[in-house]
C-alpha cells in the first residue's frame, strides 16, 4: 500500500486566517494516520484574475503551473474555505480556474479528476461557513473530485483557537484531527 499524499490548504490569503489554522489541525490528523502532507499557502502563489485574453497572450503563469504540479503530485486535498457572501472565496475559485486550464499533454481536469477532498470551514459567524461549503462541494464534484461526506464548520472562530493553534474545544479538535485521518484511510483504500 503506497503512502497517501495530501495537499492541505485554505481558500484564504489572509496571514492570520482561521481557515489556515483549521486545515493545519486536519493535516496533523492525516500525518498521524500515515499520510504525507504538503501544506500550501495560496498567498505564496499570487495569481492574476483569470482572463482568457491574458492566457492567450502570456500563457499559464508560473505560479499557476506550480500549483498544478502540486495538485498533480498529490492524491487528495484537505481544504478549509472561508465563506464569502454565502459562497466560495475569489482566491479559491481563481486558483481552480487557472488550474483547470488544459496544457499540452494533459487530459481535461487532470489536476482534479479522481482525487478526493475533505472540506472544512471556520467563520466568526454562527454557521461557521457552512453555506460556503455547499458551493465548494458542488464545484469540486463538478470537476470530477470525490468529496467525502464528512465536513466540519467552526462558528465563532475568533474565540475558537488556542494560542498553540489547536481548537479550545477538545472534542472539536479531535473531530478535525479525525477528518484528516478519514481522508488518509479513504485514500489508502482507494489507491490500494
Ligand X SMILES: Cc1cc2nc3c(=O)[nH]c(=O)nc-3n(C[C@H](O)[C@H](O)[C@H](O)COP(=O)(O)O)c2cc1C
The residues of the shown chain that bind ligand X, judged by CB under 6 A, are: 10, 12, 14, 17-19, 82-86, 123-125, 129
Q: DSSP code of 48?
A: P
CB of 88 to ligand X, least distance (A): 11
Sign of CA dihedral 7, 10, 14, 15: negative
CB of 86 to ligand X, least distance (A): 5
3-state class (DSSP) for residue 10? strand
CB of 5 to ligand X, least distance (A): 24
- The helix (H) or strand (E) run that includes residue 77 is strand 76-80
CB of 94 to ligand X, least distance (A): 14
User: In this complex, which beta carbon is closest to ligand X, that of residue 39 or of residue 190?
Assistant: 39
Cα 112 to Cα 108: distance, rounded to the nearest angstrom: 9
User: In this complex, which beta carbon is closest to ligand X, that of residue 34 or of residue 125?
Assistant: 125
User: In this complex, which beta carbon is closest to ligand X, that of residue 77 or of residue 84?
Assistant: 84
Task: Name residues whose C-beta falls within 8 Å of residue 21's C-beta, 6 or more positions apart in sequence.
Answer: 122, 161, 165
User: In this complex, which beta carbon is closest to ligand X, that of residue 27 or of residue 33?
Assistant: 27
Cα 9 to Cα 15: distance, rounded to the nearest angstrom: 13
CA atoms within 13 A on the CB side of 56: 3
Amino acid at each position: 500500500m503506497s503512502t497517501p499524499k495530501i495537499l492541505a490548504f485554505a481558500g484564504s490569503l489572509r496571514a492570520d486566517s482561521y481557515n489556515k489554522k483549521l486545515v493545519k489541525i486536519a493535516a496533523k490528523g492525516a500525518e498521524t494516520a500515515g499520510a504525507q502532507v504538503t501544506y500550501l499557502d495560496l498567498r505564496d502563489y499570487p495569481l492574476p484574475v483569470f482572463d482568457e485574453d491574458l492566457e492567450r497572450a502570456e500563457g499559464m503563469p508560473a505560479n499557476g503551473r506550480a500549483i498544478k504540479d502540486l495538485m498533480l503530485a498529490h492524491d487528495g486535498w484537505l481544504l478549509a474555505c472561508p465563506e464569502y457572501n454565502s459562497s466560495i472565496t475569489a482566491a479559491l475559485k481563481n486558483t481552480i480556474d487557472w488550474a483547470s486550464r488544459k496544457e499540452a499533454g494533459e487530459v481535461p481536469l487532470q489536476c482534479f479528476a479522481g482525487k478526493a477532498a475533505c472540506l472544512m470551514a471556520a467563520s466568526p459567524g454562527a454557521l461557521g461557513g457552512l453555506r460556503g461549503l455547499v458551493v465548494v462541494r458542488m464545484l469540486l464534484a463538478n470537476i470530477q473530485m470525490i468529496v467525502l461526506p464528512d465536513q466540519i464548520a467552526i462558528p465563532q472562530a475568533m474565540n475558537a483557537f488556542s494560542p498553540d493553534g489547536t481548537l479550545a474545544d477538545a472534542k472539536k479538535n479531535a473531530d478535525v484531527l479525525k477528518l484528516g485521518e478519514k481522508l488518509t484511510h479513504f485514500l489508502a483504500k482507494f489507491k490500494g
